[in-house]
């Protein structure tokens, strides 16, 4: 899978959060909207988002190295992926 550019990654994540995680298509979110600290997403959804983040960025992200505060906004998620992610081995 070809990783998307930063803007497309952010849009893909936002779209997924609005449709699949929060389940309210009308809600308006930006890449800097707080998600965990505002209570919009909980720990269960955070695990879903980690998997989605791996798909979108094409990185393997060790979950043991991630804290909820690292996933508070879409921009922070992408930063975390860049900081601790490793490129996935192609199968």
Partner 1 sequence: MITAAAYLISLLLVFAAAFQDRCRSRQVAMLAASYVFYATGGIGFLAVLVASSCLNFALGEYLRRKPDLKRLWIGILFNVLLLSFFKYLPSFGSAAVSTSWTADLLNRVAVPVGISFWTLLALSYLFDVYREEEINPSLLEFCLYMAFWPTVIMGPICRLSTMLPQFQQVRGVAIEDVLAGARRIGIGLLMKVVLSQLLASGLSGIDGVAAGFDREAQDWGGFDVWFLAVGFGFQLFFDFAAFSHIVIGAARIFGFRLDENFNSPYLSSTPSEFWTRWHMSLSFWIRDYVFIPMAALRRGTLWRYFMLLFSMILFGLWHGAKATFILWGAYSGALLVLHRVSQQLQRRWGLNFSSRLAATLSWAVSFLAVSLGWVFFRANTLDQALRMVQTVLAPVAYSRFVLPQSYYVLVSALVIGYFAIESISKALASRSVLVSSPNTATDFNAVSPFLWNARWWWLSPMIGALLLFHHFVVSTTNVDLTPFVYRLF
State the residues that interact with partner 1 by CB under 8 A. Answer: 23, 39, 42-44, 46-47, 50-51, 63-68, 84
CA angle 49, 50, 54 (to 5 degrees): 115
Beta carbon of residue 40, minimum distance to partner 1 (angstroms, whole number): 13
Beta carbon of residue 21, minimum distance to partner 1 (angstroms, whole number): 10
Distances (CA, A) of 35 to 4, 5, 11, 54, 90: 22, 22, 15, 18, 31
Nearest to partner 1 of 30, 42 (CB atom) = 42
Nearest to partner 1 of 4, 55 (CB atom) = 55
């Amino acid at each position: 899978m070809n990783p998307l550019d930063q803007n497309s990654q952010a849009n893909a994540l936002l779209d997924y959060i609005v449709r699949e995680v929060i389940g309210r298509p009308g809600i308006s979110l930006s890449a800097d909207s707080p998600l965990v600290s505002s209570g919009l997403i909980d720990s269960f959804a955070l695990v879903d988002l980690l998997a989605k983040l791996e798909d979108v960025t094409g990185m393997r992200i060790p979950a043991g190295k991630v804290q909820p505060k690292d996933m508070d906004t879409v921009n922070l998620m992408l930063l975390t992926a860049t900081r601790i992610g490793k490129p996935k081995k192609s199968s």
